[in-house]
């Protein structure tokens, strides 16, 4: 009895939503009420199943549902009937509401995101939705046809082939839309294929372009080359040089992760409150040497000006480096220093497992123990340090 009473408010809330929809002149059996119908079904101990699927199920389940409808109080009996018997036809969520709907269904996947991570995650998916509507139009996601996906692909190809955007930009939209639709179908038990399957463009872009070591030493690290940057922006760049860390990892480092009073100064890149690492393999300890050690000595508490703002740092420093002739080519960026670090280790015959541990990459195969000691990592990093 206590359990039943606890479920009453949810049922009443669902019925109120129906009445409000009626008063507003809207059909009460639209996507807005889908969550309420599911709530009603769950409150009565059943899963919401469309009538067409329910008819193929066991007779005992149908009879149990009918009995539950009969036992419902008259004020909510109609809604209970819609929910338990699946007669309320629920339309597919439209593309214009896809992000909102998908986001609500997958909140658990982002509970440890920082504000900046959440902003970037949201913007990329909202952009994909906006591009689809601009190119094809709004429609229920269940109605998206392969022909319409090909129309969207053609819209992107016109921009890619003209050189306006890169193939990777278009591929991100295909990936985000397909992943959101697949997640909604999976969570809500919809048996439908992903219309974006195998729709990507071939992408020959190589984003992993390293700076040459000569360029780093003679141009980027030349006296006064970085003086036009504020001290935090400059020292984040210098911290990147001998650590190979991702900029987002450096800007979000807390003071407790910067260990300068150890016999081997180092940083510990690890997940923190409201900050998720790119992958579980990204957690690692990197020894500090050369210009990177000096940068952290100037900023033992980290870089509060750019904390949670890796994108802002990257935009500022990229513009500065371009304007001051510090980019080796138009394919280079501050991130290229990470590739310089990786190539340096590889070209000095650093063991592949140790290199990947320092980079925060997946180490394939079965690996035992904790990997290279901090002293061992220091020896390898020291060989390539600026």
Distance of CA 31 to the CA centre of its chain: 26
Same-domain status, 124 and 155: yes
Following CA atoms 355, 357, 359, 365 in sequence, which dihedral angle do they give, to the nearest 10 degrees? Answer: 80
- Decide if pLDDT at 136 tops 80: yes
Would residue 104 count as lying in a domain? Answer: yes
**Which tokens sit at 380?**
């390898």
Q: What is the pLDDT of residues 50-61, one digit of tens each?
A: 776 777 788 888
Asked if 363 and 282 touch (Cβ cutoff 8 Å), the reply is: no
Low-confidence winner among 157-161, 175-179, 203-207 (lowest mean pLDDT):
203-207
| Domain count within the chain | 3
Query: Is pLDDT above 60 for 13?
Result: no
Average pLDDT over residues 143-148: 90
> In Å, what is the CA distance from 9 to each residue of 3, 4, 12, 18, 21?
12, 10, 5, 14, 18
pLDDT at site 24: 39
Alpha-carbon gap, residue 24 to 54, rounded angstroms? 31
Residue 207 lies in a domain: no
Q: What is the mean pLDDT of residues 215-226?
A: 93
Q: Do 232 and 299 fall into the same domain?
A: yes
pLDDT band at 251 (very low <50, low <70, confident <90, very high): confident
Within this chain, do residues 323 and 227 fall inside the same structural domain, yes or no?
Answer: yes
Coil vs helix vs strand at 268? strand
Tell me, what's the pLDDT at 43?
Answer: 77
How would residue 206 be classed by pLDDT, with cut points 50, 70 and 90? Answer: low
| Higher pLDDT among residues 268 and 282, named by residue | 268
In the prediction, which pLDDT does 181 show?
Answer: 92
- What are 285-308's pLDDT values in tens digits? 899 999 999 999 999 999 999 888
Q: Please check whether residue 196 lies inside any domain of the structure.
A: no
- 127: pLDDT confidence band, cut at 50, 70 and 90? very high
* 375 and 247 belong to one structural domain: yes
Question: Average pLDDT, stretch 143-161?
Answer: 90
Task: Compute the average pLDDT of residues 234-260.
Answer: 90
Arithmetic mean of pLDDT over the chain: 82
pLDDT score recorded for residue 21: 45
Q: What is the model's pLDDT at position 6? A: 56
CB of 302 closer than 8 Å to CB of 255: yes
Percent of the chain predicted with pLDDT > 70: 81
260 with 295, same domain?
A: yes
pLDDT at residue 361 greater than cutoff 50: yes
Domain ends where: 35, 59, 85?
Answer: 85
DSSP state of 23: H
Residue 226 and residue 374 in one domain = yes
Task: Quote the pLDDT of residue 265.
Answer: 93
Q: What's the rounded Cα separation, in Å, for the pair 18 and 21?
A: 5
**Above 60 in pLDDT, residue 86?**
yes
Q: pTM of the predicted model, to two decimals?
A: 0.58
* Local confidence band at 22 (pLDDT 50, 70, 90 cut-offs): very low
Cα separations (Å) of 242 from 22, 176, 196, 317? 65, 34, 41, 17
Residue 26: the pLDDT is: 42
CB 79 within 8 A of CB 20: no
* Containing structural domain, residue 368: 213-384
Task: Please identify, among 57, 85, 113, the residue that sits at the C-terminal boundary of a domain.
Answer: 85
pLDDT for 9 beyond 90: no
| 212, 328 contact by CB (below 8 A) | yes
Do 242 and 320 lie in one domain? The reply is yes
User: What is the model's pLDDT at position 27?
Assistant: 45
**Could you tell me which residues come within 8 angstroms of residue 162 by beta carbon, excluding any fewer than 6 positions away?**
none
Report yes or no on 46 lying in a domain: yes
Last residue of a domain, one of 187, 221, 256: 187
Cα(90)–Cα(312) distance, rounded to whole angstroms?
43
């Amino acid at each position: 009895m206590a359990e039943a009473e606890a479920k009453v408010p949810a049922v009443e809330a669902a019925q109120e939503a129906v009445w409000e929809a009626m008063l507003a002149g809207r059909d009460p059996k639209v996507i807005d009420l889908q969550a309420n119908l599911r709530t009603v079904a769950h409150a009565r101990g059943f899963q919401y199943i469309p009538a067409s699927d329910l008819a193929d199920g066991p007779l005992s389940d149908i009879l149990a549902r009918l009995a539950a409808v009969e036992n419902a109080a008259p004020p909510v009996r109609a809604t209970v009937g819609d929910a338990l018997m699946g007669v309320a036809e629920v339309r597919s969520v439209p593309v214009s509401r896809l992000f909102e709907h998908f986001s609500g269904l997958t909140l658990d996947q982002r509970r440890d995101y920082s504000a900046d991570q959440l902003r970037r995650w949201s913007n990329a998916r909202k952009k994909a939705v906006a591009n689809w509507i601009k190119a094809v139009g709004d429609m229920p996601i269940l109605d998206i046809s392969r022909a319409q996906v090909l129309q969207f692909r053609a819209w992107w190809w016109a921009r890619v082939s003209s050189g306006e955007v890169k193939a990777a930009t278009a591929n991100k939209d295909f990936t985000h839309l397909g992943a959101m639709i697949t997640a909604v179908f999976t969570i809500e038990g919809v048996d439908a294929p992903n219309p974006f399957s195998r729709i990507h463009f071939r992408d020959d872009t190589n984003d992993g372009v390293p700076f040459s070591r000569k360029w780093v030493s003679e141009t980027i690290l030349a006296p006064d080359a970085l003086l036009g940057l504020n001290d935090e922006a400059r020292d984040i760049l210098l911290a990147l040089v001998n650590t190979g860390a991702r900029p987002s990892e450096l800007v979000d480092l807390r003071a407790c992760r910067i260990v300068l009073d150890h016999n081997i100064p180092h940083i510990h890149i690890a997940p923190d409150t409201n900050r998720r690492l790119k992958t579980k393999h990204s957690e690692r300890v990197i020894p500090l040497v050369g210009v990177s050690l000096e940068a952290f000595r100037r900023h033992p508490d980290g870089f509060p000006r750019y904390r949670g703002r890796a994108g802002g740092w990257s935009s500022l420093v990229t513009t500065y480096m371009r304007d001051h002739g510090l980019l080796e080519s138009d394919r280079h960026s501050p991130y290229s220093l990470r590739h310089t670090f990786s190539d340096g280790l590889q070209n000095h015959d650093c063991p592949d497992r140790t290199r990947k541990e320092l980079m925060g990459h997946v180490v394939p195969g079965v690996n035992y123990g904790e990997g290279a000691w901090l002293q061992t990592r220091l020896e390898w990093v020291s060989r390539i340090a600026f």
